[in-house]
Structure formats: C-alpha cells, structure tokens
C-alpha cells in the first residue's frame, strides 16, 4: 500500500473511481500551505443522502474496513466530556520500505442530517490537526457529496508527497472506497445498518 495514497485516502475517504459506474468524482483539488494539506472534492453517488450518512457514520466493529482496506480498526469510543461522540480509526500504509500505522481520535458532529463534521484530538492522534466536513445534498435521484478537509500530519512525509503527487494518486488509484460507499448505501439493511459486504 502506497503511503501517499494512504494519507490521501485517510483524509478524503475516497481514492478514485472506475469508469462506467454511477459514482462519479467530478472535481478534486489538493493544496498545501507549509505543513498543512487542504483537500476539496465533489462527487455524485447513486444512493440517497440518508443511506450514505449511515455508511459514513458506521464505525462500529471495524466496519470502515468495508470502505477501504487501509482501515485496520474503527469504532466508537466513550463520548467526550460534553457528550459529543468520539470515533477511533487506525490505518496502515507503506512507501517502499517505510511503513507506519496512523491513528485518529475524532469528535464526530452530525450538525444536520446532511452535514457531518469531524475534528481530531491531537493529543490522541498522529495528526497535529485534522478536520473534515461532508455535505450531502439530493441530486438527480442520488446524492451530491462535497468534501472539505484540512490536515497536518504529526509524522514525516517524503518531500515528493506533495499536492501534485497526492492528486495524481487520487485520480489513478485502483478500485475505490467511493464505489464501496455507494454499494453499501444501496444495500442498507431493513434495520438501517450498513452491514452488507462490499464487492
């Protein structure tokens, strides 16, 4: 697993798409300001917002591994002191002979049914800063997803893992999390859980 791809996958939750599927990645922008990376992406999925939201919020029992193989652990933790849900994820990736595991503990806020925000707790994460926002809007029988993320890793990255490299990795990667999110959302069980096995 490529470390640059892992970092971007962790940040954005999607790597690429395969042509000919209803899921479409319409735009992606990656930039860097000193040590902080900024990602913005817009995509369309052939599933309703409520179902996609259920998939994105389904951290229990390591189920994020259904979305991407980089996720080795995921789950809900006891809530923060103010009652805000906390989630834990751990991903793994390698670049040549350099491999590492990356942890995040995040405050998870469902601001509205169609707006999800997560903010990492630096003291419990491998990131000095990490914040992401998902906006889900109905569109043509499916969902328009706008994703915005800012992150500053608390670990070394090779100099060439910059915006150009990360964007190229995003657009050229293999079978993707975006398709799996769509598939899981289309197969939400009768109890509203996203427990279907992704292809």
Q: What DSSP string describes 109-127?
A: EEEETTEEEEEE-GGGSSE
Q: Is the pLDDT assigned to residue 23 strictly greater than 80?
A: no
**Mean of per-residue pLDDT scores for the chain:** 80
pLDDT-above-70 percentage for the chain: 72
Strand partners, 143: 45, 138
Mean pLDDT over 133-158 rounds to: 91
15 or 25, which is more confident? 25
150 or 5, which is more confident? 150
Beta-sheet strand order (sheet of 86-95): 24-33, 36-45, 142-153, 127-139, 115-120, 98-112, 86-95, 71-77
Q: What are phi and psi of 73, to 5 degrees?
A: -145, 145
Q: Is the pLDDT assigned to residue 1 strictly greater than 90?
A: no
The pTM assigned to this predicted structure is 0.81
């Amino acid at each position: 697993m490529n470390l640059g791809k892992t970092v971007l996958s962790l940040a954005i939750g999607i790597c690429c798409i395969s042509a000919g599927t209803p899921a479409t990645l319409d735009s992606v922008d990656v930039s860097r300001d000193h040590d902080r990376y900024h990602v913005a992406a817009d995509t369309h999925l052939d599933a309703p917002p409520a179902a996609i939201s259920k998939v994105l919020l389904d951290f229990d029992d390591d189920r994020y591994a259904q979305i991407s193989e980089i996720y080795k652990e995921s789950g809900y933790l006891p809530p923060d002191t103010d009652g805000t849900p906390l989630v834990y994820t751990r991903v793994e990736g390698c670049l040549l002979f350099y491999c590492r595991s990356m942890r995040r503990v995040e405050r998870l806020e469902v601001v509205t049914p169609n707006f999800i925000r997560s903010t990492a707790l630096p003291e419990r994460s491998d990131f000095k800063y990490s914040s992401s926002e998902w906006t889900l809007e109905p569109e043509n029988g499916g969902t328009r997803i706008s994703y915005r993320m800012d992150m500053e890793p608390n670990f070394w990255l090779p100099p060439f893992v910059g915006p150009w490299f990360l964007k190229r990795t995003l657009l050229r990667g293999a079978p993707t999390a975006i398709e799996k999110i769509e598939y899981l959302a289309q197969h939400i069980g009768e109890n509203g859980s996203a427990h279907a096995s992704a292809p």
